[in-house]
Amino acid sequence: MMQAVCLMSGGMDSSTLAYVAKDMGYDILALHLRYGQLTETKELECAKKIADSLDASEFLEVSLDYLTQIGGSSLTDPSMKVHDHGEEEDKGLPNSYVPFRNANLLSIATSFAEARHADAIFIGVQSSDYVGYPDCRPEFTEAFQRLIDTGTSDEVDIRLQTPFVRLNKTDILRKGLELGVPYENTWSCYRENRPACGTCDSCFYRLEAFRELGIEDPIPYRKAL
């Protein structure tokens, strides 16, 4: 059976992605990363529920506490403010950017995939998404495929799958609803473990996607925009 390492944050996108991988016939090796983000307890709980619902054959939880030591992001540094949507001035990167985070996640995923002889890695990045994180661009994931091809044993052939890279949140939600993703077991808020704040960038775009499809988001919110 084909196996895929799925990066599962517990959020809406990566949960939908794992359902897509399963639907494509892959057995799931779930990989969940903690990196000192404010909502890591809730995200872990959600990732586990989604992995269970997909009968994942392994659930690997890895701590990247060093991203907190390195700092430089409002997601990992409690002294930096998590902005409300629209509050941050529109110049350069948002302060929620964690330097080169996706390369760290994908390197771990590749080590995991190589050790298990898996066929693919699924990551839910989107370039057309709300923020211009450089490590979400298609050029970045293409460069990562080249890195995998040159840096792993010639005996393995691991494909980096990013089916969402040119989709937006509404497209993803539509796909997930078709596949029956239990969105009550997903979490997107940057700020709180429960209820979701409703106003950070991540909540804003999640709520917008549900609104566009005319459906109610099943998770609890403190305050909706």
Give SS3 for 80.
Answer: coil
Nearer to a copy of itself, 34 or 206 (CB): 34
114 binds a copy of itself (CB under 8 A): yes
Nearer to a copy of itself (CB atom), residue 55 or residue 155: 155
User: CB 187 → a copy of itself: shortest distance, Å?
Assistant: 22
- What does the alpha-carbon distance between residue 53 and residue 28 come to, in Å, rounded to a whole number? 11
What is the rounded CA–CA span in Å between residue 76 and residue 69?
9
Min dist CB 132 to a copy of itself, Å, is 10
Cβ distance to a copy of itself smaller for residue 143 or 213: 143
Q: Does 90 bind a copy of itself (CB under 8 A)?
A: no
In whole angstroms, the minimum distance from the beta carbon of 157 to a copy of itself comes to 13
Among positions 21, 50, 56, 67, the unique one binding a copy of itself when judged by CB under 8 A: 67
- From the list 80, 103, 131, 177, which residue makes contact with a copy of itself (rule: CB under 8 A)? 103
Q: Which of 116, 155, 151, 115 has its CA nearest to residue 26?
A: 116
Which of residues 19, 122, 144, 183 is near a copy of itself by CB under 8 A? 144
CB nearer a copy of itself, residue 79 or residue 150:
150
User: Under the phi-then-psi rule, with left for phi > 0, alpha for psi from -120 to 50, and beta for the rest, what region is 183?
Assistant: alpha
Per-residue DSSP letter, 22: H
**HSE of 7, CA atoms in CB hemisphere, 13 A:** 22
Stretch that binds a copy of itself, among 9-17, 139-147, 173-181, 212-220 (CB under 8 A): 139-147
- Pairwise CA distance, residues 18 & 21, whole Å: 5
| Dist. CA 49–CA 64, nearest whole Å | 21
C-alpha 21/C-alpha 176 separation (Å) is 12
Among 103, 104, 110, 107, CA closest to 4: 110
| Residue type present at position 76 | T
- Position 143 contacts a copy of itself (CB under 8 A): yes
Residue ranges in contact with a copy of itself by CB under 8 A: 60, 62-63, 65-67, 69-72, 92-93, 97-104, 106-108, 110-112, 114-115, 134-135, 137, 139-140, 142-144, 146-155
